[in-house]
Structure 1
């Protein structure tokens, strides 16, 4: 079985995930999307950016990295929110 070679670059590691985070938050604020749909929205945005912008000529790489963008953004947001909430509770 042959697995595709997927190259990550600066875009994938440093720019892709923050863009998904920012776009998701902007949509959440301006379009009043219910909280239960935000993770799905982040995943869809990650897939869109990866498939159509960062990996337009390789669908497998686009799908794989799109899942990475979306889930990395979801995890980063959840981690940051938990840390801030814990910090606020500790110092109240």
Structure 2
């Protein structure tokens, strides 16, 4: 029975490159390919899972999946919080 959480070792990729790379790819998809706003989170999740599973944590699937969702959520949080802050500033 699975009773313990997996041990996830973070590395330099996780700390410095993971989220910014996903953020840049999502913004490029938005600007260059005119991806609709409703699909941005899907693009973010697919890119983040791909980077995390195949580059960041190639030997640990559970860590790759967990960190992929973490990268995706962080990148989308940056995009949406920046957008909301801008709109709040403009309203004032």
TM-score by length of 1: 0.89
Mapping 1:45-60, distance limit 5 Å: 45-60=47-62
Q: State the secondary structure of the residue aligned to 2:73.
A: helix
Mark the runs of 5 or more structure 1 residues left unpaired by the alignment.
none
Task: Give the equivalent residue in structure 1 for 2:19.
Answer: 17
Task: Give the equivalent residue in structure 2 for 1:83.
Answer: 85
Q: Per-residue CA shift, 1:16-48, capped at 9, x if unaligned?
A: 111111100101111111111111110111101
TM-score by length of 2: 0.89
Task: Give the equivalent residue in structure 2 for 1:27.
Answer: 29
Mark the runs of 5 or more structure 2 residues left unpaired by the alignment.
none
- Kindly report structure 1 stretches of 4+ aligned residues shifted beyond 2 Å: none
Counterpart of 1:8 (choices 5, 10, 22) is 10
Q: Partners in 1 of 2:57 and 2:70 — Cα distance?
A: 13
Count of residues paired in the alignment: 90
